[in-house]
Amino acid sequence: MQQHCKGNTATLQRQYSNAAKAIQQRCKGNTATLQRQYSNAAKAMQRHCKGNAV
């Protein structure tokens, strides 16, 4: 289960990194919104992982 969660988190981080780079190239003002979305997704993933680990 830990491998499953770690794998999903790594994928999420890669997707965020790629999206962040694209946004920065287009408009720096959108970065804050993207970071909020990533933060929310990361929190959801952490809750999902904790729930499965118990």
Q: Which pLDDT tens digit goes with each residue over 5-52? A: 666 777 777 877 887 777 777 766 667 777 888 888 888 888 887 776
Domain around 40: 2-53
CB of 28 closer than 8 Å to CB of 35: no
* H-helix segments, 1-54: 2-26, 31-53
pLDDT the model gives residue 16: 78
Q: Is the pTM of this model over 0.85?
A: no
Count of structural domains, the chain: 1
Burial 24-47 (b: 16+ CB within 10 A, else e): eeeeeeeeeeeeeebeeeeeebee
The whole-number pLDDT of residue 28 equals 62
Q: Taking every pair of C-alpha atoms in the chain, what is the biggest distance, in angstroms?
A: 42
